[in-house]
Amino acid sequence: MRVIWLILGIILFLFIFNLALFIDKDEPLKSISSFINQTIGNPFNDNGSDLKKEGSTADYDSSGTDSSSGGSSDSSAGLYQCSNKQISYSLTGPSEEETCLEEDGLGECIKKQMNCSLEIKNLDYEIFGEFIFDFTYSLDGEEINHESISKNLGPRESYIFSSILILEGLEANKSPLCLHNINKIPKKTVC
């Protein structure tokens, strides 16, 4: 019986010894490191192949689509997907103000100024970007004026977008409709 245990012990020893010769002692660390880089990315690598840092700006076009080159910067990023998201902002208004600039002898307004405005606040704490608003004036269902206004706003900065229209003659006695459209809001990469 001792001989069988001795033979089994020698075979086990030789098996473990041969296994140790074929395995690189750094191999387990390499495979763990490789797994971590494939799964969550390497936060210490700045060569652009891993996840992008939050807060970088990206382009946004008027159709509402992302015009940058891709949302995820590395297909092996695994758990994290980066995407471009519109930054947070607030709107106050719109506000419309009509002022008669000139009257005829009968008290009828023959020249009027219309001011259409709204205030926007960039609520983001990091992103500086361009905001574009379109103001469209229509009278009796017809567009009579269109103006596009852009402004670069820093983080937490506010601005009042304002458009002025001058009406003369018979149109001065009418109240045009002022419509506004958000044409561009900055985006940022979020992972």
**Block means of pLDDT (10 residues each) for the chain, length 191 residues?**
80 67 49 41 38 36 38 51 93 92 90 95 95 93 93 96 93 89 93 88
Amino acid 18: pLDDT:
63
Amino acid 9: pLDDT:
77
Tell me which residue of 35, 78, 74, 69 sits closest to 52, measured CA to CA: 74
Tokens of 92: 């106050």
Together in a domain, 36 and 105: no
Amino acid 38: pLDDT:
39
- Is there a contact between 137 and 176 (Cβ–Cβ < 8 Å)? yes
Specify if 112 maps to a domain. yes
Amino acid 133: pLDDT:
94
Specify if 123 maps to a domain. yes
Specify if 73 maps to a domain. no
Together in a domain, 19 and 92: no
Together in a domain, 119 and 183: yes
Specify if 47 maps to a domain. no
Specify if 20 maps to a domain. yes
Amino acid 7: pLDDT:
85
Specify if 9 maps to a domain. yes
Specify if 53 maps to a domain. no
Together in a domain, 124 and 182: yes
- Is there a contact between 80 and 40 (Cβ–Cβ < 8 Å)? yes
Domain span at residue 4 reads 1-40
- How far is residue 110 CA from its own chain's centroid? 46
Together in a domain, 106 and 181: yes
Domains identified in the chain, total number: 2
Specify if 55 maps to a domain. no
How far apart are the C-alpha atoms of 130 and 15, rounded to whole Å? Answer: 68
Regarding pTM above 0.85, the answer is: no
Contacts of 168-172 with C-beta under 8 Å, sequence gap 24+, read 168/110, 168/111, 168/112, 169/110, 171/139, 171/144, 172/100, 172/109, 172/110, 172/111, 172/112
